[in-house]
Structure 1
Amino acid sequence: MSEMRPKKSVDAETPLCVLGIETSCDETGVAVYDSRRGLLAHALHSQVALHGEYGGVVPELASRDHVRRVLPLVRQVMGEAGISGDDLDGVAFTAGPGLLGALLVGASVARSMAWGWGVPAVAVHHMEGHLLAPLLEAPAPAFPFVALLVSGGHTLLVDVRGLGQYRILGESLDDAAGEAFDKTAKLLGLGYPGGPALARLAEQGDPGRFRFPRPMTDRPGLAFSFSGLKTRALTTLRDGPQDAQLDADVARAFEDAVVDTLVIKCRRALQAVEARRLVVAGGVGANRRLRAALAEMVAEEGGQVFYPRIEFCTDNGAMIALAGALRLAAGTRCGLEIPARARWSLEELMPV
């Protein structure tokens, strides 16, 4: 069977209206982005309550919940945007990396809708979506820039020269920063997701009581390692003076160590590629102390730092719709296959 001929021709000069669907993990995100009018509507359903009692994401439950949520969210968002399928120029979806079952839900729905509406489907890399999310804001960063992608599943420093022109400068050798936040929060009895709760507890902590190491900053390079900080928190909680202030002081020491490590590595990355623009995306990018420290460092380097709005730091459909529109304008589209990849390096993407 051959591909259905799209009802609309699309080229780089055509204003595009794209539906974006994100289902890579534990959030169902849907959005409509118009290349001329901007973001028209977006909605997000979080599965935090669903997975909270298990202390982490249960893949099968995540996939089933995406099945329940994605079509109602599509109807909601298209209604809020005031459009129908006839108004769309493409449907974008997260094809990876992520939980394979969850990815297949969004990919199957998106590919089917694109077929039914006679428009192209665009498979989007999840981390490219995060990387491009600050382009939804004003002012938007111009290429080239260094991107810090920091979340529960990934910690990457990327040299970004243009759309699809990505070179990974450094990544975590073990736990991602957000994963380390969640695991340390669990040690403190803070539940799931633990990152925001740990940050709130750290506000009450004494920054001078404990000092945790800044991993891999005593040697050259841009790689990260955060698993040792979780172990340091565990031993401090076990062996430290048992008082009412202990948990807050450990949370503060942990957060300070992660923040300082990220700032040191970002400074090195900016200097290594002689860049003046830093883009920060991913859930940990919403951390207040990290934002303040990065702003100070980038100012010292004579540069600028860019973020998506707080609601777009975590997984969302808006970043997928935007990335899909940019890819579609550059001629990218998928065939009749339903692609989904649990693992997928940014460096495998084709430049445009």
Structure 2
Amino acid sequence: MSRFNGKRAEFEASGEKINVAILGAGRIAHTMAGTLTQMAEDSLYSSWIHPYAVAARDITRAQAFADQWHFDKAYGSYEELVADPDVDLVYIATPHSLHAEQAILCMKAGKNVLVEKSFTANAGQAREALAVAEETGMLCTEAIWTRYMPSRKLINEVIESGEIGEVKAASANLCYPVSGKARMTDPACAGGALLDVGVYPLNFLDMAVGADHGRTLDHFDTSMVPAETGVDAQNSTTLYYSDGTMAVSTSSMLVSSDRGGYVWGTEGYLVVTNINNPESIDIYDNAHKPVRSIAVPPQLTGYEYEVADAANALLDGKIECEAMPHADTIRIMELMDAIRDRWGLKFPFES
């Protein structure tokens, strides 16, 4: 049991803060560090969220990171980080292939974890990690930020209101030219477009037309173009739901795309600008005339929502967040496994 796990009343009376640590010191770790620093200065979060520690594989890199972001502690190994009794929540910011073992390391040491997407490299690893959450009582949640953002509710409210009629089809894409990054094309790191960027359109569709609205997936068709290393360079998957609704997910690490999310109904359609960090939600009628535009609430970076949700969940003694329960993580991981299986793509560590 961590210091505050399941002890909300004691925490609120103590005047202490939840100490957040980052495991890893790469690009996404810096993004989270910037978020935590802003949270520590914002009236909504400053009384209970504290940027505390970072761990990297060498102390020089970790100390430079801690100095840059004014963290209290820097560790040159992950084992040292999880041995610190004052760490409450660990954000795991390493390649997909390492997430499961590192989440398990943290939880067995009594640390709650917020694990960057994709949650793991495959569903088997996800089940192993979530079993340890059950065993230890530690919070273990996937840090796919769009699941925690206010935009999710705003989009679903439009769809459920019937304003665009009965939803029959949808599309979402996310593409960035990032194939030059070594981990993106490395099979040993679970590289490829699907797990890194493709997870976002799949989650968008799951929220906008899938499980959030009670639809179950019936079957899918999929194709991909491989990189020289064999991982997917770009891909497209068409999802067919049991009620006849269909949705297309596209991702690539070779090109840029408009990052759009589109939900089409019998009375009009909805357009989300940037499914990776929604900027606006625009509604059109059947004549393609703008009906209205919904502004997305101002935010620090967008990462603050997942941190706050995770912190609240651990204070309540929960092992999952309502915005991204374990069942949702497993469902998406199983879908991505099935997609890769259709392609014949296995990572070296998979038997």
Quickly name the TM-score band, shorter chain normalised.
Answer: 0.3 to 0.5
Greater relative contact order (CA < 8 Å, ≥ 6 in sequence): 1
TM-score, normalisation: structure 1: 0.40
More helix per residue: 1
Higher strand fraction (1 or 2): 2
TM-score after normalising by structure 2: 0.40
